[in-house]
Amino acid sequence: MFKKFPAVSPLLIVVILTMNGCQSTPQTPRTATPEIIGGDAQTLLAQAADATDPRRQLKLRMAAAELLLDGQQYAAAADALSLVNQSFGTALVNEQSRADYARMLARAQYHSGDYIAAQAALTELPVWTPQDYLLIANICQALNDYRCSADGYIQASVALGLDHPDLPDQVNNLIWQNLSRAQSGPEVFTHRYHHAWWLLQQQMREASSIPAQQVVWQTWQRRYPSHPARLRPPETLRRLDLYEAPNIALFLPLTGPVASAGQAIRDGLISALLSEAGDNRPNIRIYDTAAADIGQLWEQALAEGAQVSVGPLLKDQVLRFSELTAYADQPRLVLNYLENPVADPALPPDPRVEAPTANKLFQFGIAIEDEARALANQVLLAGHEKLIVVSSNRSWSQRASAEYLKHWPYPATNAYFTDIKELTQAIGTAMQVEASESRKTEIANILGQPLEFLARGRQDMDAVVAFTNQVEARALGPALRFHFASNLPLYATSQIARGSEVDELVGFNLTEMPLFTHPTASQSALYDAFALKSNAQAELYALGYDAYRLATWLPLLNSEGQLALPAASGYIWLDKAGRFKRDLGLSRVEKGGTLKYVE
């Protein structure tokens, strides 16, 4: 469910204020016709360097930048425009020239990968065109700001009409994907269609099952018969009308050394099944992968009418199962992730490797990489740039750190330790306190006398991101205080909440499953029934609960299937490789160890 009173971003405020009434089409301002100037971009830039009149220099540089943009030389265009801003800003004397400059700069920065700067450039516009909305939608999608991206596509599609050539193909699919991944909606709506999109998404999230979602969809269509989503439904909603509850085969280890893990997943899945209302519920047969060969169990399940399968769980069985069922027609959801295959460049691409969803093989698991990626997005949206990234020698910590840095566009200083006793020293090194001590010693030696000196850490860091367990996180606070960094915001994953002393981590911001922070009624029933607050296998119950919901959706997905839905383990979405991944919001540790969901 959406947060009821989310904060409105400055960007959204700009978007809203520049709309002219309900369902009105934004008017495209006329671009002033510049004086005709001949030559290629480099010639124009050379002429600008020799010109003495600032207005002529401005026209020459902007003309050069436009040529560079047309030639897809985006970095060069950004450089040319940055010189305009630095040297000739006073020549941007009228609103139109400033708007032309801002639009060109935003395009150049977007295509150069500088998304935050491109976003900032667009916010300078006094009036927005439909093309501006399209650009901001693309920028926000690149920044994983799904609320902003959804709004940009909605505004552009309403202003232009669904058949306009400037709109991307299947724009309603893009709108729905972004709406599905947005974790909060706007407080203010610019027109009826804008509100209706968000209303549909919220009602679909609040529906407890696919039959309930069918009712929501049918009711919404009757209420908004002329809405673009009614006229051209997103693929996910179109296929919702075709749903029939499938027969599900569940492959889990229910005996042997990992039986407790299999049983937790089974119990979570059955809990989700029992929470369904009505008679249109799947039939489920359960098979013990510890008692028989997975190939034999698969053949048995097919003979017994399985239409969808969930499992197996163990990585070696997942690999073998994927090979055995490579040409199966049934959708299969394995509960672990396959390693990325290494393609032989001498062979043609295997469509099953490039697009596993075409083979109806889907993958889902509770991976720390999901939390690391979500944390990078949340820290970026918080406006931080320079970070200390704390990690240990534990395998999960190293994987999380690597995934985080893969998605982090700014400098990061690593504070790595192999033993908790080394944590304070690792923080001191990252804060360059030792360098400060060394400078003091060097100066004292030069002067030949001792100095009164107080060491200090670097002052340019914005935040600390920690991939540590709870014990290590409890030691991190004192280490930061010792090295003059106690004022830095702290971010971490759910690993710091796994233990009995969360109350010592007040102030930490962490990614955590909705099951623990803002569960639905049926998720709360699961949480209470199995005492998940103190259950070491809580994540596996969430995995089973969510696997059921995904399994019921699998028959609706095609080779280009799109699916995103709120779940017990996070906001789940499907990537192009057939992997279900999770987005998670932030929670903050409050006094007493309670977790307050932020976003």
- Please count the structural domains in the chain: 2
Mean pLDDT, rounded, for 65-87:
78
Mean pLDDT, rounded, for 307-313:
97
Which of the residue ranges 104-108, 204-208, 370-374 has the most confident prediction, judged by mean pLDDT?
A: 370-374
Within a domain: 460: yes
Same domain, 236 and 374: no
Same domain, 227 and 375: no
Same domain, 32 and 179: yes
Within a domain: 41: yes
Looking at the chain, the whole-number percentage of residues with pLDDT higher than 70 is 82
Report pLDDT for 434: 59
Strand bridging mode 387-392 / 586-589: unpaired
**In this predicted model, what pLDDT tens digit does every residue of 523-553 receive, in sequence order?**
999 999 999 988 989 999 999 999 999 999 8
Contact present, 468 and 496 (Cβ < 8 Å): yes
Same domain, 166 and 27: yes
Same domain, 234 and 372: no
Within a domain: 251: no
Q: What is the CA radius of gyration of the chain?
A: 28
Q: Domain containing 422 — which CATH number?
A: 3.40.50.2300
Report pLDDT for 45: 83
H or E segment and range at residue 77: helix 74-87
Within a domain: 381: yes
125 pLDDT tier (thresholds 50, 70, 90): confident
Cβ-count burial of 395 within 10 angstroms (0-12 exposed, 13-18 middle, 19+ buried)? exposed
341 pLDDT tier (thresholds 50, 70, 90): very low
The first and second tokens of residue 107, run together, are 């395009």
Q: Where is the domain boundary, 240, 273, 300?
A: 240
Strand bridging mode 247-252 / 283-288: parallel
**In this predicted model, what pLDDT tens digit does every residue of 396-455 receive, in sequence order?**
999 999 999 999 999 899 999 999 999 988 988 888 755 545 544 554 455 555 545 444
6 pLDDT tier (thresholds 50, 70, 90): very low
270 pLDDT tier (thresholds 50, 70, 90): very high
Q: Where is the domain boundary, 191, 218, 240?
A: 240
Q: Domain containing 41 — which CATH number?
A: 1.25.40
Sign of the torsion angle spanned by Cα atoms 125, 127, 129, 133: positive
Within a domain: 71: yes
Query: What is the rounded distance in angstroms from the CA atom of residue 548 to the CA atom of residue 537?
Result: 17
456 pLDDT tier (thresholds 50, 70, 90): low
Report pLDDT for 21: 38
Within a domain: 307: no
Report pLDDT for 499: 82
Same domain, 229 and 93: yes
Identity of the amino acid at 423: L
Q: Where is the domain boundary, 190, 219, 240?
A: 240
Within a domain: 325: no
The first and second tokens of residue 140, run together, are 């926000």
> Which residues constitute the domain of residue 469?
368-519+588-597
Query: What is the rounded distance in angstroms from the CA atom of residue 283 to the CA atom of residue 281?
Result: 7
Within a domain: 97: yes
Looking at the chain, the whole-number percentage of residues with pLDDT higher than 90 is 51
Ranges assigned E (strand) in 191-281: 247-252
Report pLDDT for 293: 96
Is residue 261's pLDDT more than 50? yes
